[in-house]
Amino acid sequence: MLVVFQHPSWRNVDKVAKRSRFSAAWIPLAAAAGVIAVLLYLFRDRQALFWNGFSIARVPHASIELIAFDQRGHRLSSLDFFRTWRPTLIVRDHTGAVRFGVQYGLGAPRLAIPAAEPVSIELLWPVPGFGKVLLSADNGGHGYRVSVGAYTRIELTPELARSRLAELERWISHRNQGHPVPDDVALALAFAHRQLARVDAATDPRERAALALPALRAALQASEQEVLAEAFREISEHRTGNLLIKVIDPHGTEVPEVKIRVTETRPEFLFGVGAPSRGYPAETVARLKQLGIDYAGLDLSWPELEPRAGVYAFDRFDHRFNLAALKQDGLVLRARGLTAASEAALPSYIAPLRGNLSALSLAIPTQLAPIIKHYKDLVEVWQIEQDGAAWAGLGLDDAGTADILKAVTAEIRKDAPNARIMINVAAPLGEDVAAQYNRRLLGIRGVAGTDARDPYARLKHLSNAGVAYDLIGLEFCRNGFPDRADSRVQPPAIDLFRFARELERWGSLGKPLQISALAAGSNGGGGTWWHASPDEGTQADYLAGAITIAYANPQVQAVNWSALFDSDALIAGGGLIDHAKRPKPAYDRLRALLSAWHSGGDVTTGSDGLANFQGTPGDYQLSAQVASERIAGTAHIDQNASDVALMSITTFAPSPSPAPTPSAEMVAPGGQDMLQSPTVPEPFVLEPPPLEPPAP
């Protein structure tokens, strides 16, 4: 019998050979899979447009076909059109609410829209010489109405020009009786009308688009000039008030030639920045004071403050955010983030209750109560998020979320009765809701939930459901490029006219407004956004324009820039201080604006003992030196140029002589009865101690 012995190494060689044959067989398959993956990636947009056509076939709809050209005059295909507006395309109904709107097909660009009702189209679109901003086509304010199954064709650039021109003229008619504030606006309107007349006379779509472009640019520039001119006028008329001060002696005799120092201690309008991730160390507080900031945000994290059910950990957070120092320096504190209940922000001990409305309605206010009580003497504004994504972790529908919000606001009212509650709108344009209709195209998952609602309609729903709140917060923090590697996808950017119009729209709900976050980037890629490529100069210009418009709006009570430092910014270069700790031009521009809107100075009484001071609304300290005595007091100026707010004056430093102690008294000029003469402002009275008789 023959016995063959096989060395162990031979068996290993055999195994290696088998593996080699196996690997060799899979190499072509892997290569083919790689090629397919690359092709799928390269043609993903085409596939999405193609499949969108099948998806909308199941839904009754109408269509709009768009004729659009690029800057070189080439007509855009459906694919090129999508890549131009990405990521923002919004279809709205006649109320401005976001509606169904989907781009589909591979030929000419087509949009599926609701049938048989007027709609408008908004999209992120480049305008040479102005930038890439969110523009609207609305058929001159009438909307596009198309029957079910039918389609209409529009030329995009002429429609954009006509729509902005008509919108600006409606704005001027409503606010200024048809008379533009600056003469340049009237000239620009006339030019735009002449240019659109040339468009009407032309027949070639390419030529019409080229002729309409200067009209669109002129209308955009004129609309910004108009709202800025109005803002400067409104600030001078409505962000001031009069303080009438009268100085008399104990006998009621007016004291002339008294120099009174008037110092603003707390402006009525608040300016703030987003909460730094590392809190508020002493050097950051010094920066805030240097800027003139008087509003500070606190990012309260529920899981951090209550790591386990019923176990609260306040010390670490309080130390990091330096709350005592902030309050001592006179900053108003705003708490945000605590009441958000996204899946990421939901505490582990609340997560098991997901979907159980009755249990959540009881558990959430109970768990939050100790946190609210801990900060009730520090926090003056509690910010509550209203968008669906913030509450998606609870697994509730709109009605259930409204019940939770109602329970939370009731708890805040009970534990912190002197605080104000602000419902915050993270995306007031509704771009997150509109993105849901083009999820396949944009390659996103449900960022706002599958049942996302228009934010304006959602806030009205909360009010009707009985959610009690005092303020509306609006975030406009996407004017730039995202601070991430893929900066080709530009968030929606709006020009200053659109910003002013949004403030008017949200103000119509009848609540005071706060800009809870405002941002503009100083760097980034992917083309232009507002006026020019993002740089530090563009950022400073946008900051100055937007804050001026917000400050001029009488319903706006506060503005918060989204980040103090670039390291905390959500968009590229969105902070006021760069990574090298160097203040940028936006920092200096903000500082100059706040200084100009801060009042103070000296006034001197006349022969009638009266002194008049005009300043911005807020709290003031008054002080004067009369002979050897100092008198002082406090006052408040209201936001109304025709009224005067009067406060009592307290006298300090009593006279060393046995003469009577001076007192404060409010009188009207000439002894008039203020109850019978409400149009005459009632003055402050600073009463000095009696003068000692001259030495013999």
Q: What are phi and psi of 114, to 5 degrees?
A: -60, 140
Assess whether 142 and 245 both reside in one domain: no
Indicate if the pLDDT at residue 40 is higher than 50: no
Give CA–CA dist 457/95, Å, rounded: 10
Q: What are phi and psi of 67, to 5 degrees?
A: -105, 110
What's the domain count of the chain? 2
Amino acid at 409: T
Give the residue numbers spanning the domain of 223: 47-235
Assess whether 159 and 225 both reside in one domain: yes
Cβ–Cβ < 8 Å for 435, 387 = no
The H-or-E segment that residue 89 falls in is: strand 89-92
Task: For 44-88, write each residue's pLDDT tens digit.
Answer: 889 999 999 888 888 999 999 999 999 899 999 999 999 999 889
Cβ–Cβ < 8 Å for 456, 96 = yes
Q: % helix / strand / coil in the chain, to the nearest 5?
A: 40, 20, 40
Amino acid 650: pLDDT: 39
Assess whether 143 and 244 both reside in one domain: no
**Span of 269-283, 540-554, 576-590 with lowest mean pLDDT:** 269-283
The answer to whether residue 203 is domain-embedded is: yes
Q: How confident is the model at residue 18 (pLDDT cuts 50, 70, 90)?
A: low
Cβ–Cβ < 8 Å for 226, 181 = yes
Assess whether 229 and 84 both reside in one domain: yes
Amino acid 15: pLDDT: 55
The answer to whether residue 293 is domain-embedded is: no
The answer to whether residue 671 is domain-embedded is: yes
CA distances from 46 to 77, 106, 602 (A): 11, 7, 70
Q: Give the pTM.
A: 0.85
Assess whether 101 and 222 both reside in one domain: yes
Burial label, 450 (beta-carbon count in 10 A; 0-12, 13-18, 19+): exposed
Q: What angle do CA 362, 366, 371 make, to 5 degrees?
A: 150
Q: Which two tokens stand for residue 464?
A: 């009707």
The answer to whether residue 169 is domain-embedded is: yes
Assess whether 162 and 243 both reside in one domain: no
**Residues, the chain:** 696
Mean pLDDT over residues 522-530, rounded? 76
Amino acid 16: pLDDT: 52
Assess whether 194 and 217 both reside in one domain: yes
Assess whether 216 and 243 both reside in one domain: no
Task: For 440-483, write each residue's pLDDT tens digit.
Answer: 888 876 544 445 689 999 999 999 999 999 999 999 987 666 55
Assess whether 103 and 207 both reside in one domain: yes
Three state DSSP letters for 559-610: EEECCCEHHHCCECCCCCECCCCCECHHHHHHHHHHHHCCCEEEEECCCCCE
Question: Pick from 211, 235, 259: which residue ends a domain?
Answer: 235
Mean pLDDT of the chain: 83
The answer to whether residue 122 is domain-embedded is: yes
Indicate if the pLDDT at residue 317 is higher than 60: yes
The answer to whether residue 673 is domain-embedded is: yes
Q: How many CB atoms lie within 10 A of CB 312?
A: 13
Assess whether 192 and 243 both reside in one domain: no
The answer to whether residue 442 is domain-embedded is: no
Q: How many CB atoms lie within 10 A of CB 571?
A: 28
212: left (phi over 0), alpha (psi -120 to 50) or beta: alpha
Query: What residues have CB less than 8 Å from 161, skipping those under 6 apart?
Result: 192, 195, 196, 199, 212, 213, 215, 216, 219
344-377: burial string, b at 16+ Cβ within 10 Å, e else: ebbbebbeebeeebeebbebbbebbeebbebbbe
Mean pLDDT over residues 347-353, rounded? 86
Assess whether 67 and 173 both reside in one domain: yes
Indicate if the pLDDT at residue 272 is higher than 80: yes
Give CA–CA dist 147/616, Å, rounded: 54
Task: For 654-682, write each residue's pLDDT tens digit.
Answer: 434 443 333 333 333 333 332 233 333 44
End-to-end CA gap in the chain = 151
Amino acid 86: pLDDT: 87
Mean pLDDT over residues 114-125, rounded? 96
Amino acid 507: pLDDT: 96
Higher pLDDT, 247 or 122: 122
Question: Pick from 166, 201, 235: which residue ends a domain?
Answer: 235
Question: Pick from 203, 235, 267: which residue ends a domain?
Answer: 235
Q: How confident is the model at residue 22 (pLDDT cuts 50, 70, 90)?
A: low
Task: For 582-633, write each residue's pLDDT tens digit.
Answer: 999 999 999 999 999 999 999 998 888 888 899 999 989 888 887 777 878 8
The answer to whether residue 494 is domain-embedded is: no
Assess whether 117 and 171 both reside in one domain: yes
**Span of 237-241, 287-291, 312-316, 549-553 with lowest mean pLDDT:** 237-241
